[in-house]
Amino acid sequence: MAGLLTAVGVTEIYRLGPSDAFKQGLWIVIGVGLFALALFYLRRDYRRLENYKYLFGIAAIALLFLPRLPGFGETVNGARLWVHVGPIEFQPGEFSKIFLIVFLAAYLREKREVLAQGRLKDLGPLLVIWGGCMLVLVSSNDLGSALLYYGIFLSMLYVATARLSYVLVGIALFVLGGVGAYEKIAHVRERVTIWLHPWTTTKIYCPSTGTMALRQDCQSYQLVKSLYSIANGGFGGAGLGKGTFTTTSGTPLIPYINSDFIYSALAQELGLIGAAALLLVFMLFVLRGMKIALQADDGFSKLLAAGLTFGFAVQTFIIVGGVLRIIPLTGITLPFVSYGGSSVVANFLLLAGLLLVSHRANELR
Amino acid sequence: MNKQISRLAVVALILLAALVVATTYWQAWAASGLEARQDNSIQRVAQFQIRRGLIYASDGKTVFAANTAKKEGGQTLYFRRYPTHGLASQTIGYSTQGRSRAGLERSENAYLTASNANLGTIFDKITEKVKGTTVKGNNLVLNLKVGAQKLAESALRGKCGAAVVLNPQTGAVYVMASSPGYDPNKIESAKGYASILHSPGACKGSASALYNRATQGLYPPGSTFKTVTAAAGLDANVYTLNSQFNDPGYCTEYGQKISNALNPEGSAEAYGNVNLLQAYQHSINAVFCNIGQKLGAKRIVDKMKDFGFYSKPPIELPSDQVSASGEYDSAKGEFFTDAGRMDPGRLAFGQDKLDVTPLQMALVAAAVANKGTIMVPHLVKKVTRPNGGTVVKFGPHVWKHAMKPQTAADLNQMMQAVVTGGTGTAAQIPGIKVAGKTGTAETGVNKVYDAWFIFFAPADNPQVAGAVVVEDAPDGFGGSVSAPIAKQLMQAILPGTPKK
């Protein structure tokens, strides 16, 4: 399934820009290599990772902090997410996600009983690590990832403790935080405004050009153009390679069409049939991942598999939901499909984790 | 823990299912709404993925509008090219990226892009879409005759004016020329567009060459309008051809004298005792002034409506590129029919506040030629499929019954008299009975006139009818400026006539 998603992704990336597809291919090779390496090293018992849980937790935060360090980081789209090390540039956030899941799985396994009893003291380290992540994410304007991490955190907490009250409190806190962010952070406010009212009939001030323009020609043009792209697909789609992504003079209509907006490209070319089929593959992947979690026989494995799978589902929901205007749009990648080295490699590592859990569960049976 | 994991799985699947629902919403439910949005650049590009149909002249060979294919962003896009570089420019119009469309390119866009609701076309288009081939539009074959069209444009070159020639029996439009014209290939560039908007030689109404003077240009019709006045009088049995008049050289309107046109000696001509035919033949304003006073403005206005004045002729051009004709209130920018606001004497000889299009006056001539019946004017002869089959053919349809057949027969005789021995002798063609009426409309500037000629031929079985107008001709009379152009056009179209 991962292979299928990757193939769909690389095909569409090739169609949108052949040179990017070559790079993506290279990343896929690296991803598969690391995937094999991970499987090889951890084939006996991946559970020894548990012993290094704090290391993972700290590494997750460290990775998130990397782009903030002068000399490494680079700001793209108002968010500081990239790291340059010599010729290599990558988004550490993608890896930090997996590390965080490993940490949470290990920590929650250990403390689940006490946490279930409601001993708040034990939430301490958890909140520290997690709070650090959120702080970094919100301060670097990467709201999509913040939402993703929060979702992963709440879901794993719930699986570990079986206490719905944690989830409800968490959601309440999130809503509160959301309102606060809306009030305080202009970036958030803008995203929400774009989400609620992408079209205006009168011209408003456009900060990027400093002139008056309709919102669909200014802040929300990405979302609007992407919606046009999706709508143009209709039921059957325009056909692979037949979609319209450039103007008559060849300038691209949608920026980041091969990463954040790859879903709108696919939806236009494959239509409702193809898009629904693609989402179905995502669903199957999620089902499969959850089944692995169910079959696993120890807490760490269950938490790890469930966390990785739910993270995968939420990430898909955040980006596709954003593109489809279900939620405010935030730029993150579509797992396996989007263009992006870090994303591809990280997702193959995620897959390796699931396979390891599955392998062990089968062996024990 | 398994219970929680199962629940988590359900939540994850619900989230993903929501994506399927939302995709369905955008692709099925909201798609048509988004397609119609002005800023939908995909739709704007999509227009250029269609290979528009070609536009042919009546010979089926000369191409007015063709396509140039260009590869862009992995797709083949088609852009318009106009091989005739401006022949019948305002009528054909243009289809561009930056400036949208005009002329037949706009009004016939549905046929040209195969998006009209014709069963055969829909079938073709679906097969093309399924096969993944380019959607090809239907071709237009026009009634325009290349030779005569070129002749009309070269005769009008350097002047402001227009010419319309059509078949009075079928409504087929053979010539529709408006000068100055433009090269539609230059529309796209900002510089080219600016030069088209401000064409050299200021013309009335609009300096723009985009303006189709044949269907939009409003001119006082001058004496050509006496045809309508005479039709009103004859139809109502108030006058016959032999009705007698005395012409003292002027008529009295509201206590003031209105003189006839000046003779070469500079004094108003006076013809004395004449009948209706002679008054029309020599275009005697004083006689028509009295006729108008006797008939009253209301009866003339009613007759104008019978001829199609006060409504836009149902020609295939975009409706904002066709104007109605009639008494025009230039302050308010609208036509009016209230007879109380008109001067019946001046109305009768085509002045007052009359503003008419050349197309309307061509239809007046066509009405006389076709025994009182006006056919719907057709620019498009037929629409053909890209592979050659015919989608639809446009046959003759009646638009208006302007007058009784007997009235038309009388006017036919009167108009022949104009050419044989009246003001329009310059339009004579050896071996063919030509009928016509001159018009020399005052423009408000002394000795500068709009020179008109309306005509049809052969008078006993008319094949062509039309109108020629030349704006602001200094010392130019309809008989001396426009009648010779009309003569050339008739010769170019009528078979077996000696061509210069």
Find, in chain B, the residue whose alpha carbon is nearest to that of A162: B4
Q: In this complex, which of A271, A283, A294 lies closest to B2 when CB atoms are compared?
A: A294
Find, in chain A, the residue whose alpha carbon is nearest to that of B28: A234
Chain A residues touching B34 at Cβ < 8 A: 227-228, 231
Residue A224 near residue B39 (C-beta atoms within 8 A): yes
User: In angstroms, what separates the C-alpha of B479 from chain A's closest C-alpha?
Assistant: 52
| Phi, psi dihedral angles at B401 (to 5 degrees) | -100, 105
| Residue B281 exposure: Cα atoms within 13 Å on the Cβ side | 19
Least confidently predicted of A42-46, A228-232, B221-225, B466-470: A42-46
Find, in chain B, the residue whose alpha carbon is nearest to that of A225: B40
Inter-CA distances, A91 with A27, A63, A70, B105, B200, Å: 13, 9, 15, 52, 62
Q: For residues B406 and B204, what is the distance between their CA atoms, to the nearest angstrom? A: 38
User: In angstroms, what separates the C-alpha of B387 from chain A's closest C-alpha?
Assistant: 24
Task: Give Cα A89 distance to the centre of its chain.
Answer: 18
What burial class does residue B484 get, using C-beta atoms within 10 Å of its C-beta: 0-12 exposed, 13-18 middle, 19+ buried? middle
Dig out the tokens for B373 from the structure: 């019946």
The per-residue pLDDT for range A216-232, each reduced to its tens digit, is 777 778 888 888 888 88
Q: For residues A54 and B400, what is the distance between their CA atoms, to the nearest angstrom? A: 93
Q: Which of A154, A244, A258, A294 to mutate to test the interface with B (most CBs of B within 10 A)?
A: A244
Residue B310 near residue B357 (C-beta atoms within 8 A): no
Query: Does residue A21 sit at the B interface (CB-CB below 8 Å)?
Result: no
| Residue B368 exposure: Cα atoms within 13 Å on the Cβ side | 36
Q: For residues B297 and B279, what is the distance between their CA atoms, to the nearest angstrom? A: 20
Inter-CA distances, A285 with A1, A210, A257, A303, B457, Å: 7, 46, 24, 17, 82
Residue B134 has pLDDT above 60, yes or no: yes
Sign of the Cα torsion A207, A210, A212, A213 reads negative
Dig out the tokens for B385 from the structure: 């499929």
The per-residue pLDDT for A260 is: 79
Chain B 61-120, residues with CB within 8 Å of chain A CB atoms: 72-75, 77, 79, 97
The per-residue pLDDT for range B394-453, each reduced to its tens digit, is 889 999 999 999 999 999 999 999 999 888 889 999 989 999 999 988 776 666 788 999
Dig out the tokens for A333 from the structure: 């990648």
Chain B residues touching A158 at Cβ < 8 A: 4, 8
Residue B105 near residue B93 (C-beta atoms within 8 A): yes
Counting as low any pLDDT under 50, the low residues of chain A are none
Task: Give Cα A236 distance to the centre of its chain.
Answer: 28
Cβ count within 10 A of residue A315: 25
The per-residue pLDDT for A206 is: 78
A–B interface: beta-carbon pairs under 8 A: 160
Q: For residues B34 and A232, what is the distance between their CA atoms, to the nearest angstrom? A: 9
Inter-CA distances, B54 with B80, B133, B184, B404, B474, Å: 9, 18, 15, 41, 41
Chain B residues touching A276 at Cβ < 8 A: 20, 23-24
Query: Does the beta-carbon distance from A283 to B18 stay under 8 Å?
Result: no
Chain A residues touching B20 at Cβ < 8 A: 275-276, 279-280
Dig out the tokens for A48 from the structure: 């020894």
Query: Does the beta-carbon distance from B8 to A317 stay under 8 Å?
Result: no
Chain B residues touching A286 at Cβ < 8 A: 9, 12-13, 16
Residue B263 has pLDDT above 60, yes or no: no
Alpha helices in B132-173 (DSSP H): 146-156
The β-bridge partners of B161 are: B179, B470
Chain A residues touching B31 at Cβ < 8 A: 231-232, 234
Q: For residues B171 and A47, what is the distance between their CA atoms, to the nearest angstrom? A: 90
Query: Does the beta-carbon distance from A244 to B72 stay under 8 Å?
Result: no
User: In angstroms, what separates the C-alpha of A71 from chain B's closest C-alpha?
Assistant: 37
Q: For residues A218 and A212, what is the distance between their CA atoms, to the nearest angstrom? A: 9
Q: Which of A108, A165, A324 to mutate to test the interface with B (most CBs of B within 10 A)?
A: A324
What's the whole-model pTM score? Answer: 0.69
| Phi, psi dihedral angles at A354 (to 5 degrees) | -60, -40
Q: For residues A357 and B426, what is the distance between their CA atoms, to the nearest angstrom? A: 103
Q: For residues B21 and A86, what is the distance between their CA atoms, to the nearest angstrom? A: 44
Q: For residues A272 and B24, what is the distance between their CA atoms, to the nearest angstrom? A: 6
Query: Does residue A5 sit at the B interface (CB-CB below 8 Å)?
Result: no
Query: Does residue A167 sit at the B interface (CB-CB below 8 Å)?
Result: no
**Strands of B75-81's sheet in order across:** B75-81, B63-72, B55-56, B139-142, B380-384, B390-393
Chain A residues touching B131 at Cβ < 8 A: none
User: In angstroms, what separates the C-alpha of A306 from chain B's closest C-alpha?
Assistant: 7
Find, in chain B, the residue whose alpha carbon is nearest to that of A244: B42
How many angstroms separate the most distant Cα atoms in chain A?
67
The per-residue pLDDT for A73 is: 59
Q: For residues A208 and A186, what is the distance between their CA atoms, to the nearest angstrom? A: 14
Instruction: State the average pLDDT over residues B472-495.
Output: 84
Query: Does the beta-carbon distance from A326 to B5 stay under 8 Å?
Result: no
Mean pLDDT of chain B: 86
The per-residue pLDDT for B461 is: 93
What burial class does residue A181 get, using C-beta atoms within 10 Å of its C-beta: 0-12 exposed, 13-18 middle, 19+ buried? middle
The per-residue pLDDT for B280 is: 92
Residue B402 near residue B374 (C-beta atoms within 8 A): yes
Q: For residues B21 and B178, what is the distance between their CA atoms, to the nearest angstrom? A: 56
User: In angstroms, what separates the C-alpha of B26 from chain A's closest C-alpha?
Assistant: 6
Looking only at the bridges linking them, the beta strands covering B139-142 and B55-56 are parallel
Q: For residues A228 and A198, what is the distance between their CA atoms, to the nearest angstrom? A: 12
Alpha helices in B83-197 (DSSP H): 89-92, 103-107, 109-112, 119-131, 146-156, 190-197
Query: Does residue B238 sit at the A interface (CB-CB below 8 Å)?
Result: no
Query: Does residue A168 sit at the B interface (CB-CB below 8 Å)?
Result: no
The per-residue pLDDT for range B332-378, each reduced to its tens digit, is 889 999 988 999 989 999 888 899 999 999 999 999 999 999 999 99
Q: For residues A314 and A330, what is the distance between their CA atoms, to the nearest angstrom? A: 13
Chain B 449-488, residues with CB within 8 Å of chain A CB atoms: none
Query: Does the beta-carbon distance from A276 to B132 stay under 8 Å?
Result: no
Least confidently predicted of A23-27, B254-258, B492-496: B254-258
Q: How confident is the model at residue B125 (pLDDT cuts 50, 70, 90)?
A: low
User: In angstroms, what separates the C-alpha of B130 from chain A's closest C-alpha?
Assistant: 9
The full set of domains in chain B, from first to last, is: 46-142 (3.90.1310.10), 146-381+396-493 (3.40.710.10)
| SS3 assignment, position B23 | helix
Q: How confident is the model at residue B201 (pLDDT cuts 50, 70, 90)?
A: low
Query: Does the beta-carbon distance from A326 to B19 stay under 8 Å?
Result: yes
Q: For residues B488 and B464, what is the distance between their CA atoms, to the nearest angstrom? A: 12
3-state helix, strand, coil in chain B (%, to 5): 35, 25, 40
Axis crossing angle, helix A18-41 with helix A341-364, rounded to the nearest 10 = 30
Dig out the tokens for A326 from the structure: 């279900």
The per-residue pLDDT for B500 is: 46
Query: Does residue A361 sit at the B interface (CB-CB below 8 Å)?
Result: no
The per-residue pLDDT for B116 is: 63
Query: Does residue A262 sit at the B interface (CB-CB below 8 Å)?
Result: no
The per-residue pLDDT for B208 is: 79
| Phi, psi dihedral angles at B229 (to 5 degrees) | -60, -45
Which has more pLDDT, A236 or B268? A236
The per-residue pLDDT for B429 is: 92
The per-residue pLDDT for range A75-119, each reduced to its tens digit, is 655 555 566 555 556 677 788 888 888 888 888 888 877 777 766
Task: Give Cα A283 distance to the centre of its chain.
Answer: 16
How many angstroms separate the first and last alpha carbons of chain A?
A: 24
